[in-house]
Structure 1
Amino acid sequence: METKPQKNDQLEKVRKMVGNIRIAMMTTVDEEGHLQSRPMAVLQMDEDGTLWFFTQKTSPKVDQIEQHDKQVNIAFADVSDADYVSISGTAEELHDQAKIDELWNPQAKAWFPNGKDDPNLTLLKVHTRMAEYWDSNDSTMVRLFQQASAALTGTTPKMGENEKVYN
């Protein structure tokens, strides 16, 4: 995923954390009011904290976004580094051929066999409203020691930094 330096300095930490995570879970609300998550390849986080995705115009998530005030959640996890990010925002479906051309990559052809001119190809643009992250700066061994120590002492382990960021 491409990430660009953020205009909002508070989102810079989020950008650095999600920059190496290509697949995120996008959550919408389905027709029955249930939360529904699916893996999505993030194409870009632009300088405004906006996340960009390709999707099919006929995908149920496009209708779900429109029916539920455009509210979505995007969740990132890098388990090996114990880094986690949850982004709440609003999504919109749009067709912008210049942006499609900019973001097109060979992996997308698997979902859009007619290439960037596929009539079912559209963009999802997710504007970040709030992001919360959990960042463990310690190694796996240190984290395991902290967890074991906490279990023995009956305390809660200190597992790193947690912060909410508003955009």
Structure 2
Amino acid sequence: MSDQYSAAASASPSLTDKLVTLRAFFKAQKAVILTTRDADGSLHARVMAIAEITPDWKFRFIYDKESHKDVEVQNDAHVNIAVDGTQNNTGWASIAGKASRIEDHAVVEKLWNPTIKAWFADKGDGVHDGTPSDPRVVVFEVKVDEIRHFHQEKTTLGTVVDVISSTISGSTATPGSIRTITGQEIASAWSRNELKEP
């Protein structure tokens, strides 16, 4: 059973509509929070920039395979990607998925941009130099299990009015809609060639 807010804010547009809206949402965001789990169960979160969202909705990040998040994902592949766009009235999203490492440097080369080198110190050995051929530079890919996206449909003023009127009337405020998308839905639509290229 859903809580009252989730029940009031749930929406069922088509999968295509949900994904088109979600892609637009992510284009407006500069960074996300990626959360991984340590061997002792501790959750660790950090800000990451998305390098790519593939047409079949895999989230890709360039990262250092010598970092602790790599150790954590080897221990437990379950991760969460979260982004808060409520400050600019675009809503929020939470993506539960499973992570894996891609060491194909053709993929790294495709996603590379010069600013990435700033995150990899040059070790001066001619190998670990922060370029796409550096063996530390790999891709962290998250395959979606479930996406929950709050699509904000009211402005800040509209939300304030909604909250006040709901407080007075005893109803539940609904400044937007919560949309759920499963990894199975995405995989099924992809196999039927129903997903549009970004």
Q: TM-score, normalised by structure 1?
A: 0.87
1:85 lines up with 2:85 in the alignment: no
Question: Which residue of structure 2 lines up, in the alignment, with residue 74 of structure 1?
Answer: 81
Structure with the larger strand share? 1
| Counterpart Cα distance in 2 of 1:149 and 1:75 | 30
Indicate which of 140, 152, 157 corresponds to 2:168.
152
Question: Which residue of structure 1 lines up, in the alignment, with residue 178 of structure 2?
Answer: 162
The residue type paired with residue 103 of structure 1 is L
Counting matched residue pairs gives 159
Question: Which residue of structure 1 lines up, in the alignment, with residue 7 of structure 2?
Answer: none
Structure with the larger helix share? 2
Question: Which residue of structure 2 lines up, in the alignment, with residue 36 of structure 1?
Answer: 44
- Which deviations, in whole Å up to 9, do the C-alpha atoms of 1:102-142 show, x marking residues without a partner? 11112212102522222321110111121011011111111
1:105 lines up with 2:113 in the alignment: yes
Bigger shift: residues 105-114 or 58-67: 105-114
Whether the 8 Å contact between 1:112 and 1:118 is mirrored in structure 2 is no
Segments of 5+ residues of structure 2 without an aligned counterpart are 1-14, 122-129, 184-198
- Which deviations, in whole Å up to 9, do the C-alpha atoms of 1:70-95 show, x marking residues without a partner? 11110111121141011111110121
The residue type paired with residue 52 of structure 2 is Q
| Counterpart Cα distance in 1 of 2:30 and 2:58 | 15
Question: Which residue of structure 1 lines up, in the alignment, with residue 67 of structure 2?
Answer: 59
Q: What secondary structure is seen at the aligned counterpart in 2 of 1:116?
A: coil
Indicate which of 121, 133, 157 corresponds to 1:117.
133
Pairwise CA distance, 1:11: 3.0
Indicate which of 52, 55, 79 corresponds to 1:47.
55
The residue type paired with residue 125 of structure 1 is E
| Counterpart Cα distance in 1 of 2:85 and 2:131 | 30
Question: Which residue of structure 2 lines up, in the alignment, with residue 5 of structure 1?
Answer: none
Percent identity reads 26
Question: Which residue of structure 1 lines up, in the alignment, with residue 158 of structure 2?
Answer: 142
Q: TM-score, normalised by structure 2?
A: 0.75
| Counterpart Cα distance in 1 of 2:131 and 2:173 | 49
| Counterpart Cα distance in 1 of 2:133 and 2:178 | 42
Segments of 5+ residues of structure 1 without an aligned counterpart are 1-7
The residue type paired with residue 32 of structure 2 is A
1:94 lines up with 2:102 in the alignment: yes
The residue type paired with residue 51 of structure 2 is L
Greater radius of gyration (CA): 2
Bigger shift: residues 105-114 or 32-41: 105-114
